[in-house]
Amino acid sequence: MSVFQKSIKQSVTWRGFYFLTLLFLNIFLSRFLKADGFGIIFYLSNFFSLLVIIMGFNMDGSFTYFSSSKTIHHNKLAFIGIFWSVLMCLITYILLPKYFSYFDKNIAALNTNITSLGLHYISGILLTSCFTILFYSLGNFFLPNIVLGISNLLFVIIILFANSLNFSPKNIVSIYFNLFFFQGIGLAALFIYKNGWSNFILPQKKELKQLVKYASIGLSSNVIFFFVYRIDYWFVKEWCNQSGNLGNYIQASKLSQMLLVLPQILASSIFPQMATGQQQQEIVQSISRLFKLFLVLYIFLFIITICVGKIVFPYVFGDSFNTMYLPMIILLPGIFCLSISSLLSAYFSGKNQNKYNLFAAVYALLIMIGLTFLLKKYYSIYIAAAISSLAYCGEALYCFIKFNKQESINLKQLFIFTKADLHWLKKTFIK
């Protein structure tokens, strides 16, 4: 088994465990808060995620590239990560109350400390992103995902016993956002403990320039990608204001995007291996094999969702999620395209060709916004899902065209399984 295959196997195993616990958390939180409460909590986390992308300044992508290519020592990157997270916390504390006072007064009117929730969420995600990447760069997929997964399961237990503990929905929401902060602090403490605080050294000026240059290009892509994936939440909130619509649509969107877990895990293996400059031909061949695997999986998921989704979704998430079935079906073809573009984006990032990811994001966002305003008169959660799916397909098409120009993939390779393909899949995912 090659180094790349070992990386895939460890990443799938331990990140898969973490994302499975995240799914459990999502299910139990949805059942506890119902569609309306769920819609508000994820509307807030959606906004906070945008701030994370902006304030994170693509540090996660930069850390992956420079730690994998051994260009900047991981202890130097850890020092930068801690310093940057603290700085962004101060900025969040100052600016967040002003935003909600002037621009989102209906959310500010809720009986909760939104500044505190945002501060814990943003700082926690920044620290978690930084230190999971640094653990991965050292080949340790086990420790960070065990910590994150166990903390998610503890929160699920709290939700199960919320009534016995006299916890209100407001208490659960507060614990949910605090969870991210304690996860980030825990991972940072573990990394420092394993590497020793005395070994942490300041980066050189030249290294900081390299980091900022790489990050600045990726930041633009990340911000635009965020809007591609989530700008529809704002449109649905404003134009589809019937009770439960926002919660149902966000649940369908989040559930469909959770299908990106496996592609993102695989992409996290492709990116660092491409950055090393080794095994490029094997990675390109692996991408074509994964295309075939995803095609089969998504056809299967599409059929299963059509057959049982209408019954299963309200049963799993609660009766209030009774209109997420059709948006979920409409989103699935687009999610398949996102799965492919995740792999191709990792390929471009590993080759320091982030400009292609940026262009793909711009094209997808133009499709999203253009079709949304063109169809505003007919807008619904179903039209929103169709527009999103088309935008995702446009993004994947652009990425594939650029990828094919560099690697000259035979289109037959993408649709016909060979014995070598089956042997590779079996060796990588089963043995």
Long-range CB contact pairs, 164-173, < 8 A, 24+: 169/32, 169/33, 169/37, 170/111, 170/112, 172/29, 172/32, 172/33, 173/33, 173/37, 173/41, 173/112, 173/117
Mean pLDDT of 183-187: 93
Q: Is the pLDDT of residue 183 over 90?
A: yes
On whether the CB atoms of residues 221 and 398 are closer than 8 A, the answer is no
> Dihedral through CA 107, CA 241, CA 125, CA 316, nearest 10?
120
- To the question of pTM greater than 0.85 for the whole model, the response is no
CA-based end-to-end distance of the chain: 10
The yes-or-no verdict on residue 106 having pLDDT over 80 is no
- The CA angle 148-124-273, to the nearest 5 degrees, is 65
3-class secondary structure, 111: coil
CA distance 155 to 407: 46
What is the mean predicted confidence (pLDDT) over 188-213?
A: 79
Dist CA 71 CA 82 (whole Å): 19
- For residue 204, what are the CA distances in angstroms to 56, 61, 79, 130, 283? 20, 19, 12, 19, 33
- Residue 111: predicted pLDDT: 47
pLDDT tens-digit map of 14-35 = 888 888 898 888 888 878 877 6
Residues 337 and 364: their CA atoms lie apart, in Å, by 12
Which residue type sits at 372? T
